[in-house]
């Protein structure tokens, strides 16, 4: 494939399940939090490469609705890291015209994180470069439930009838819908660490996504490996149910 063809087939939206920080920490004899810190550094590099490659939307799964089951120490540490990351990177993200959005019930996360998220959203709100979405306190089922409730309330108020409900209406009521400027469904979902499952990530949106799995643990996942996976995707034929 030549360069032009590659650009034309470049996925518009790549989503990443950043998994394996804990195993990386164990393998390297450091604390789980050091693993999450190394994961943040890896994420920084992937954002930069996605931008250089001309990917329009990058979504990362940072914290699931199920991750609250972890120890208080680990959960608190993850949010502290997030605050630290936003604090140190926001200026550069903004200078690079990156727009930050959050998918999930993020107003329920610790207060310091909510404050730094609000700042990031506001600072980057007019940027039209890379659209960087962080799935935070995100759960696919919870997102669908939230959409169902929104639509039900429109039905019960009499605004629309049951048979007026469409797939588009459901898409629009998700976190990736109207509240975040209608993010297209992911073309490609990458999961690191060798696990081959979605763990409640983008359940409605993944209907026709290509899936790619790598054994690399997230902190070891390099921009070059990311680029190779995306280029391999560009060579795949997507059929969307047609023949
Ligand atoms: C992913 O790494 C980061 C989060 C889920 C927050 P893990 O912490 O799940 O790493 P493993 O799966 O234990 O190796
Ligand atoms: C999925 O990873 C969530 C994130 C990467 C944020 P988990 O490590 O939480 O998922 P499971 O427990 O392996 O399914
Ligand atoms: Mg994990």
* Cα-to-centroid distance, 18 and ligand 3 (Å): 8
* Residue 243 pLDDT > 90: no
Strand partners, 13: 57
Residue 211: beta bridge partners? 189
Confidence (pLDDT) at 239: 79
What is the set of active-site residues? Answer: 19, 67
Residue 18 beta carbon below 6 angstroms from any ligand 1 atom: yes
CA distances from 28 to 34, 35, 62, 95 (A): 10, 9, 21, 34
For ligand 3, a single-atom ion, the residues with CB < 5 A are: 19
DSSP sequence for 153-166: HHHHTTSS-GGG--
pLDDT for res 8? 66
- Phi first, then psi: give them for residue 34, nearest 5 degrees: -65, -35
| pLDDT number for residue 36 | 98
How many residues are present in the chain?
243
9-59 residue pLDDT tens:
789 999 999 999 999 999 999 999 999 999 999 999 999 999 999 999 999
The number of angstroms, rounded, from the C-alpha of 235 to the middle of its chain's C-alpha atoms is: 23
Kindly give the distance from the C-alpha atom of residue 168 to the centroid of ligand 1, in angstroms, as a whole number. Answer: 33
pLDDT tens-digit profile of 214-240?
A: 999 999 999 999 999 999 998 777 778
Q: Residue 57's pLDDT is what? A: 98
Q: What is the residue-averaged pLDDT of the chain? A: 96
Angle ∠(199,203,204) on CA atoms, nearest 5? 175
CB atoms within 10 A of CB 162: 8
Q: What SS3 state is found at 139?
A: coil
pLDDT of residue 76: 98
DSSP state of 180: G
């Amino acid at each position: 494939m030549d360069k032009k063809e590659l650009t034309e087939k470049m996925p518009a939206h790549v989503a990443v399940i950043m998994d394996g920080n804990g195993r990386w920490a164990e393998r390297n004899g450091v604390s789980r939090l050091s693993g999450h810190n190394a994961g943040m550094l890896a994420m920084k590099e992937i954002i930069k490469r996605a931008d250089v490659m001309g990917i329009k939307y990058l979504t990362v799964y940072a914290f699931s609705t199920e991750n609250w089951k972890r120890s208080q120490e680990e959960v608190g540490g993850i949010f502290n890291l997030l605050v630290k990351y936003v604090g140190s990177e926001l200026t550069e993200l903004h200078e690079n015209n990156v727009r930050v959005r959050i998918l999930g019930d993020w107003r329920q996360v610790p207060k310091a994180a909510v404050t730094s998220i609000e700042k990031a959203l506001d600072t980057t709100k007019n940027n039209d470069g890379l659209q960087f979405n962080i799935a935070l306190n995100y759960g696919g089922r919870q997102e669908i439930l939230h959409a169902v409730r929104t639509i039900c309330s429109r039905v019960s108020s009499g605004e629309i009838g049951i048979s007026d409900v469409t797939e588009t209406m459901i898409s629009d009521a998700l976190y990736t819908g109207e509240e975040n400027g209608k993010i297209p469904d992911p073309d490609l979902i990458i999961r690191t660490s060798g696990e081959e499952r979605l763990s409640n990530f983008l359940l409605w949106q993944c209907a026709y996504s290509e899936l790619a799995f790598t054994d690399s643990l997230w902190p070891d996942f390099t921009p070059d490996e990311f680029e190779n996976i995306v280029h391999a995707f560009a060579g795949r034929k997507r059929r969307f149910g047609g023949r």
